[in-house]
């Protein structure tokens, strides 16, 4: 390059460099934003990873705490696991969340659960808060939720660990699948009787265990069952997540002739392990595997 051309080119070079820096800066800003699709099909976007999170449901609190414990700054009243959550401010009950109290905690993300909290979602959005709906209906959904929330909290490694733990539990469960599928009644409520049906996380767990859900075909994920319908279904295994004990359940009218009762296959389980879509589902899957394997050894092959 000839020396006399340099003074003329310097302004052009500097202008081009500045333009390149500005464009790079814009690209960097765009790159820091995070967008995921939640379980309600909504696009949730954050300009940067969330460092302050309020969880408005127990399972949401368990997932957030497992991913990034320091990020959780508020919870709903019955979010009681792990015990460390007791020290966090309470923003209301599951069905009645005080959105003003939640907003006062200055969260960058609020995690809700299911259709029952739609009024809360509307209230949070009216205050300009970003909300994520956590409502997995299957084990695949739960694994995907770990990944999405891991992105929002910038903890992809920890999200991968939780997903791997779930995958391992599913493999253990698959290894225990019986040669014949037992009919199972999974009770969500005792009064009225209510079963977990197709479309529920619990139904997907039963399917993964090689079971036949006795009430899979009812029209809602959780549906009322009449006592005579239950007796007619004659389940071979009964799983009680309704909070009642085995003795109380088997004393119900007509239950003495039920296959599950005759064979001693009625089990009262810890509801939170099975109903909270979070890391403790791994424990539930392991327990379910043991129950199904025991049934298969003791009674299954003969029927």
Residue 10: predicted pLDDT: 37
Residue 21: predicted pLDDT: 35
Residue 31: predicted pLDDT: 59
Give, in words, the CATH class of 34-167.
alpha beta
Q: 302 pLDDT exceeds 50?
A: no
Do domains 34-167 and 180-302 share one topology? The answer is: yes
The third-level CATH classification (topology) of the domain covering 180-302 is Rossmann fold (3.40.50)
| 34 or 299, higher pLDDT | 34
pLDDT in tens, 193-243: 999 999 999 999 999 999 999 999 999 999 999 999 999 999 999 999 999
Residue 297: predicted pLDDT: 82
Residue 226: predicted pLDDT: 97
Classify residue 128 by its DSSP letter: T
Q: Is the peptide bond before 192 cis (omega within 30 degrees of 0)?
A: yes
Q: Domain ranges for the chain, please list them.
A: 34-167, 180-302
The C-alpha atoms of residue 80 and residue 7 are separated, in whole angstroms, by: 71
| Strand ranges of the sheet holding 72-75, from the earlier edge strand across to the other edge | 72-75, 53-55, 109-112, 131-133
Q: Encode 64-103: b = buried (16+ Cβ within 10 Å), e = exposed.
A: bbbbbeebbbbbbeebebeeebeebebbbebeebebeebb
Give the pTM. Answer: 0.87
Strands (E), the chain: 34-37, 43-46, 53-55, 72-75, 109-112, 131-133, 183-190, 193-196, 212-213, 222-224, 237-240, 266-268
pLDDT in tens, 99-154: 999 999 999 999 999 868 889 999 999 999 999 999 999 999 999 999 999 999 99
Residue 32: predicted pLDDT: 81
């Amino acid at each position: 390059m000839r020396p006399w051309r340099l003074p003329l080119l310097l302004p052009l070079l500097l202008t081009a460099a500045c333009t390149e820096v500005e464009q790079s800066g814009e690209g960097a800003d765009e790159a820091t934003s995070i967008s995921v699709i939640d379980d309600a099909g909504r696009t949730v976007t954050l300009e940067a990873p969330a460092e302050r999170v309020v969880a408005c449901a127990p399972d949401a609190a368990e997932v957030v705490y497992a991913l990034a414990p320091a990020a959780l700054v508020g919870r709903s009243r019955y979010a009681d696991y792990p015990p460390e959550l007791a020290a966090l401010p309470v923003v209301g009950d599951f069905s009645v969340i005080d959105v003003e109290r939640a907003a006062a905690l200055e969260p960058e993300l609020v995690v809700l659960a299911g259709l029952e909290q739609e009024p809360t979602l509307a209230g949070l959005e009216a205050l300009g808060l970003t909300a994520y709906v956590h409502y997995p209906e299957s084990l695949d959904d739960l694994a995907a939720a770990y990944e999405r929330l891991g992105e929002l909290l910038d903890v992809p490694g920890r999200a991968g660990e939780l997903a791997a733990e779930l995958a391992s539990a599913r493999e253990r469960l698959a290894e225990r699948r019986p040669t014949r599928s037992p009919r199972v009644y999974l009770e969500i409520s005792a009064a009225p009787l209510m079963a977990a049906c197709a479309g529920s996380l619990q139904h997907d767990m039963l399917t993964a265990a090689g079971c036949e859900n006795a009430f899979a075909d009812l029209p809602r994920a959780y549906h009322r069952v009449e006592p005579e319908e239950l007796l007619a279904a004659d389940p071979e295994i009964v799983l009680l997540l309704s909070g009642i004990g085995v003795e109380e359940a088997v004393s119900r009218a007509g239950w003495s002739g039920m296959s599950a009762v005759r064979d001693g296959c009625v089990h009262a389980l810890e509801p939170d392990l099975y109903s909270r879509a979070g890391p403790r589902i791994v424990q539930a899957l392991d327990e379910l595997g043991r129950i199904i394997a025991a049934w298969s050894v003791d009674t299954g092959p003969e029927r």
